[in-house]
Amino acid sequence: MTLETDTRPPPDGFVRSLHRGPFSLHNGPVFHKIDGDRFWHGLFITERHSNSRGRLHGGMMTAFADGLLATAVARANTAMAVTVNLNCNICAAADIGDWLEGTARQTSAADGFAFVEAEAWVGEKIIFNATGVFRFLEKR
């Protein structure tokens, strides 16, 4: 297994995300695109993102989903929040070399919690959808 990355340039409008935690940086490179209040994350699937069959690993899907959901919460609120629940529904397979792209939105917030939903796709094919609950942290 190699930790090499795909060196192709991302699709138009995407730039490399450099301000991520160590886990996300290791799993990248991840790219992002922002248009007003909408955003997208994307990455080229490489060998290190795959399972033994050369398909996108379910754990990588979940990690990508968590990043999408967390970004939606961060963009919608001024308070820091942490994941307390994440559900990821795997809809289809994706292969090494595919460009995976996704977005998310906060659907509501109440009583110290934010509720979010996300989806990711390759081309026109939905790869997964996800929902999450985030708890706002109190300021120290």
Output the domain CATH number for residue 128: 3.10.129.10
Contacts of 81 (CB under 8 A, 6+ apart): 70, 73, 74, 114, 134, 135, 136, 137
Tally of structural domains, the chain: 1
The answer to whether residue 7 sits within a structural domain is no
Domain-located, residue 8: no
Domain containing 108 equals 15-136
Is 9 contained in some domain? no
pLDDT in tens, the chain (140 residues): 445 567 889 999 999 998 878 888 788 889 999 999 999 999 999 999 999 999 999 999 999 999 999 999 999 999 999 999 999 999 999 999 999 999 999 999 999 999 999 999 999 999 999 999 999 998 76
Q: Assess if residue 3 is contained within a domain.
A: no
Q: Would residue 54 count as lying in a domain?
A: yes
0.85 exceeded by the pTM? yes
